Structure formats: C-alpha cells, structure tokens
Amino acid sequence: MSSDLIVFLVLSLVAIATALGMLFSQNAVYSALFLVLNFVTVAIFYLLLGAPFIAMAQITVYAGAIMVLFLFVIMLLGAESLAPTNSLPWQKPMAILLSVILGVEAVYLLLNRAGSNLAVAAPDASLNSMDSLREMAMSLFNNFLLPFEVTSILLLVAMMGAIVLTRQEKEAK
Amino acid sequence: MVPVDYYVVLSAILFTIGALGVLSRRNPLIIFMSIELMLNAANLAFVAFASVYETFSGQIFVFFVIAVAAAEVAVGLALIVEIFKTKKNINIDEMNSLKG
C-alpha cells in the first residue's frame, strides 16, 4: 500500500464524515463549519492530484469568501435552527431511498462507462513551479479566452443583482 | 499510485450526500450548502481526470465552475435575505407563493 493511497483513504474518510456532519447537524452554523472542513479536504485532494493553483483557489474562494458569506447570512437571519415541520411525513424516508438509488446507479455507471485502469501518479515537483502555472495561464488566455470574458460579465451581473436586490428595500422605506 | 476510479467513486458519494441534503433538509441555507457540495464533487472528478490525462482543460473548467458558484451564492443569499425580510421566516415549506 503506497503512501498516496493511505493519504487518499484517510482524507476520503474525513471528506465523507464532514459531508454527513454537514447534512445531519441541527445547527446551521455547525453545518457551515463542517462544510469548510470538507472544502479544505477537497483542496488537499487537488494538491494530491497535482493542481496547486486550483487548490489555493478552492481555499480562498470556497472556504474563504463563500463560507464567510454563508456564516454571515446565517447569523444575520438567526436561522441557526428552524422548527421542524412535518408537512410530508414520508418525505425523509423517500429522500433517503431515492438518493441511495442515485448513489448506487452513479457509482455503477461511472465505473462501467467512465472507469479506466489508469492511475493518478504522485505529482512531481515541477507542478509546483512557476512554469506549470505559466503553461496553465497560456491555455486559459488562449484556448479559453471567450469563456473567461463571459465569466467576468457573469460576475458583474451577479454583483449588480445582489446590489439591486438589497437596494429595493431601502427605497420602499 | 491511486486508481482514478477511487476518485470517481468518492466524487459520486459526495454528490449523493449533497443530493440527499437538497431532498431532505428544510432550511434553505443548508440546501444551498448541499448544492455547493455537489458542485465540489463534480470539480473533484474534473481534476482527477485532468490529472490522469495530463491536460489543463479540466483544471480550467473547475476554475470557471468556482467563479459561477461564487456568483450563484451572491445572488442566492441576497434572495434569501430578501425573502426573510418580507416573510419573516425562511422555512422552505412556506415559500409557496410568488407574491410576497
């Protein structure tokens, strides 16, 4: 058993445990903190896969910006825990059944159709150099320039949307 | 050497947990977090395949997914705050009318 495999197995246990912790916590703040841990674990997976830039983007954007926004909104609304309502009593068992079916089917089909005998080699040190980052940037700004620009417009629209949504309330007062 | 299948299975498991969260929880913020979890699971599969096939395209796609997720969260949370201001409640069961 190689050291990579041991690291992978331990980290995947942490990832699944934190995802389940996010799902089953009654307090939304605990859910958000579990999710931060999950994002950090996924970032370490990216490092294992030889994608240091994506790993750092994951930590700054997801674990940093997005989750801080989540925690801020949870505490702003006081939505730590909602009173349970049972409008559909059979909903939870049904949800568990359906998602178990989804999971089994997804694993079965992915292994059958997308499964390969390829293995992820341990990333070599050259991936952590500036050359690798430069190569990725060349690809981003040559082959993917249009999606990049569209993304910038999308972010601008999202920013304006958030501002407009919160501005309406002030005008109504 | 870790077989890429292991990463794919882990990604499928995380996606399923996220789907279960969307289906079973009643707090819209937790539903949102479950959606983020599903996006992350897809990203993990992208990076795993990008690493196996030694191409940057998968990583760049993940970069775009992260940007879209950030935009989605900004608008979504603004909507939740706005719903809370009109309804004084964010239970998903009570969001059953378009008119506040």
pLDDT > 90 fraction of chain A, expressed in percent and rounded: 46
Tell me the pLDDT tens digit for each residue of B7-65.
999 999 999 999 999 998 888 899 999 999 999 999 999 999 888 888 888 899 999 99
For domain B4-94, give its CATH number from 3.30.160.20, 3.20.130.10, 1.10.287.3510, 3.40.720.10. 1.10.287.3510
Domain locations along chain B? 4-94
Taking the CA of residue B4 and the nearest CA in chain A, the distance in Å comes to: 5
In order of A46, B53, B66, B68, the CA distances from A154 in angstroms are 25, 30, 12, 8
The region, left, alpha or beta by phi > 0 then psi within -120 to 50, assigned to residue B54 is left
Specify the pTM. 0.90
Taking the CA of residue B97 and the nearest CA in chain A, the distance in Å comes to: 16
Longest dimension (CA), chain A: 66
Tell me, what's the pLDDT at A123? 73
Tell me the pLDDT tens digit for each residue of A73-109.
999 888 777 766 667 788 888 999 999 999 999 999 8
Which residue among B6, B24, B67 sits closest to A8, beta carbon to beta carbon?
A: B6
Q: How confident is the model at residue A147 (pLDDT cuts 50, 70, 90)?
A: very high
Tell me, what's the pLDDT at A20? 94
The reply to whether residue A168 touches residue B82, judged by beta carbons under 8 angstroms, is yes
Q: How confident is the model at residue A12 (pLDDT cuts 50, 70, 90)?
A: very high
Q: What's the rounded mean pLDDT across residues B69-91?
A: 87
| ipTM metric | 0.92
